Structure 1
């Protein structure tokens, strides 16, 4: 029984470690202009919305006074 519990604990730890996401802030200082490129390079925000690119996320943050970070590159 003890071996089973140890194995279960290890498996759960490995599973949870894989679910950890490295959230990073957008580099908004790169985008001083209120205009963004139309190049699609999607980022998934911590609000679960896909932004066309990092610049669009920065504009959203400025316009709505939010602090949305990048959950991951790519679509949500």
Structure 2
């Protein structure tokens, strides 16, 4: 019985550790946005074509993700097109 409890606790700890590691390493994965097709100096359209960034923030469209990367000198990539799995409090 003790061995089973120890095994379950270790399994739970390993699952939690992997979840934290995935969240911290997410910025390196995803698809590179095609920022060169946008004229960022003129701004972005208001067309709603949502993309979820690797920072788990929902951007209204790919152009806004590119603009945010330019403004903040970051390299957020596209995690998926459409809504994020977990809703974020901020949006681009």
Report the TM-score when normalising by structure 2: 0.57
Q: How many residues align?
A: 55
Unaligned runs of 5+ in 1: 1-21
Which structure shows the bigger proportion of residues in helix conformation? 2
Unaligned runs of 5+ in 2: 1-28, 85-92
Deviation per CA, 1:2-55, whole angstroms, max 9, x where unpaired? xxxxxxxxxxxxxxxxxxxx7200000011233100000000000000000000
Report the TM-score when normalising by structure 1: 0.69
Q: Which has the higher contact order (CA 8 A, sep 6+)?
A: 1
CA RMSD across the alignment: 1.2
- Runs of 4+ in structure 1 over 6 Å off: none
